[in-house]
Structure 1
């Protein structure tokens, strides 16, 4: 069902490969590379710790404020510092106002809970950027070439360099986010990305307008310029009036890319059908199987393993008492 993909084709989906071509129809972004040699070591290291000097607090601490007991207590924790990278991130934030980060392919959206819910993924300091990346499971895919090129042909000689992408942050209306599926250079499917029910998406004239707008954009802005494989997906954000939009990302047409309201079997069957246009799928009721429950997305990544072990077999009050005790103990000199 899935076409084979070479390592060369896979790299067409990394941000630095497609952004120069589509920079006029996507979010303003800055690509930072090469990164410090030990940056991947930092991302792979245990725990969530911020490199020294990455925020105002750590940069203001003097040697006099760090007692010998403090130095001994964290002697086993690896220390990282990236002054030149800190400067580049601060310069980018100065230009854009605020940013949200990603690596070559993946963004740390699963870690958005660590920043204010009113402005998810909004970074205003290098510390915010590092904290998001360190708290994310998603970005681990990009760190090693083994995980990036898994299942690809011709990866032995392919060069791969980790890159940090800083995109201009602004609030996004999730109801207007779509994932679009292209197979054999044909736009076959469009899926709502956010798993909430939106009444306006179930209005037939609105659906027709969405399909028409996406089809027109793809035919005029993407199809003539796309130089990657003939099977791919792209994430798209519609404007408020649903008449236009811009590209958020490109992804390979592979199982690692979530097919959302489709299955890949569905998409495969659509390829062989004579269609007037792509099929649009949205969540059509609050009882839809894919509709969001009260539990937050990526909740497995929101609580440290230590807290999970503390709460094992406890009710809420017992868990709170245990957690309070652990925190008080950690604050003892």
Structure 2
């Protein structure tokens, strides 16, 4: 059994435990059952500086559409000088080419960093193809617009809660995953504690009527248990057997793909469970060892549109969305046009503040 905290609800957070959930550390063990992905690392300090800089700005040369400037040479120099002074002028030609080579292979990609995905920034790309990136500019804009990925910038935030002062070396990595349409109704989150699969919850908190069927629920529980027993459990190559993993089930619910792993810790959303409830399940399972051999985990779903957790009529991550001015500026414009106008508005706001 893992080393646990005083209350036993969570494993002890150590740097080694947290790093087990870094994408590059677990992906190779699960590559055959996970969407095809390419890892680019390490990323230079200038790229991290770009992600941390103020305002939304697309690096020069990252957009695949050639745009003719309406500025004179002198005006262009002045504009570039103003932008550079504000710390907003960046260019990553080598990274651009590496990204383009992956896009040529995959056709389209979905980016993430070491741990976090920019799902909260899906509004910046077409709603018909959420998070679908076909150029370096798409990727940069998506990452730059996300609050979620800021967790991965700082070694302090990554190892927050770890009981040590000797933090390891940590390098930022860019992950490009092959993009394909995802049916959110088939995404589930699964909780493993002390090498016991405790519970399963649907990830998307919308109501799906097919999920309330008893036979469907039994199929999901059986499929997830078998995937965990035959694929996830034997390939999880880290000492602590406490983790949360996300699956995308197949259309017939008979199989699934591993999407991500997260630490069994308060920072990971338990969704339709609470960690207190999961701890109660663990306690009962440990008390009845013979029953564990036939133990099917509990499945939690949104049982009606009136369920308190249901968000059917609410935009996802609405609290992470940008001000209405940004949405107005982006309407009817492509990425280049939006980036130029957003930059102009930001520059104008800075000048007004200075005045």
> What's the TM-score, normalizing by structure 2?
0.83
- 1:77 aligns to what? 86
Q: Name the SS of the counterpart of 1:151 in structure 2.
A: coil
Q: CA deviation at 1:34?
A: 1.6
| Alignment check: 8 A CA contact 1:52 1:58 kept | no
- Give the Å deviation of 1:72: 5.3
Contact 1:178 1:192 in 2 (8 A): yes
Deviations 1:98-120 (A, max 9, x none): 00000000000000111011111
Which of 15, 39, 42 in structure 2 is aligned with 1:7? 15
Is 1:36–1:82's contact at 8 Å kept on the other side of the alignment?
no
Cα offset for 1:57?
4.3
Match of 1:185 among 195, 215, 229: 195
Aligned-residue offset at 1:207: 0.4
Looking at structure 1, the residues matched to 175 and 68 of structure 2 have their Cα atoms a distance apart, in angstroms, of: 27
Aligned counterparts of 1:255 and 1:122: Cα–Cα separation in 2 = 30
Q: How far did residue 307 of structure 1 move?
A: 6.6
Per the TM alignment, residue 154 of structure 1 is displaced from its structure 2 partner at its CA by 3.7
Structure 2: which 5+ residue stretches go unaligned?
1-8, 286-290, 328-343, 349-355
TM-score of the pair, normalised by structure 1: 0.88
Match of 1:241 in 2: 252
1:196 paired with 2:206, answer: yes
- Aligned CA-pair RMSD: 2.3
For the pair 1:152 / 2:196, whether they are aligned, the reply is: no
- CA–CA distance in 1 between the matches of 2:143 and 2:74? 27
1:282 aligns with 2:291: no
Contact residue 15 and residue 167 of structure 2 kept, 8 A: no
Q: What does the per-residue CA deviation read over 1:207-227, in whole Å, with 9 as the maximum and x for residues that have no partner?
A: 000000000010000111112
Q: In the alignment, which residue of structure 2 is the partner of 1:170?
A: 180
SS in 2 for 1:48: coil
Q: Does 1:37 align with 2:17?
A: no
Structure 1's 307 and 171: CA in aligned 2 closer, same or farther, altered over 3 A?
closer
Cα distance 1:21–1:307, how it changes in 2: closer, same or farther (>3 A)? closer
Consecutive aligned runs of 4 or more in structure 1 exceeding 6 Å deviation: 305-308
Match of 1:296 in 2: 315
Aligned partner (choices 223, 234, 254) of residue 265 of structure 2: 254
Residues 1:109 and 2:136 are matched in the alignment: no
Q: CA deviation at 1:249?
A: 0.1
- Structure 1: stretches of 5+ with no match in the other structure: 309-325
Checking the alignment, whether the CA contact within 8 Å between 1:102 and 1:164 is kept in structure 2 is: yes
Partner SS state of residue 256, structure 1:
coil
Say if 1:55 and 1:115 are closer, same or farther in 2 by CA, change over 3 A: same
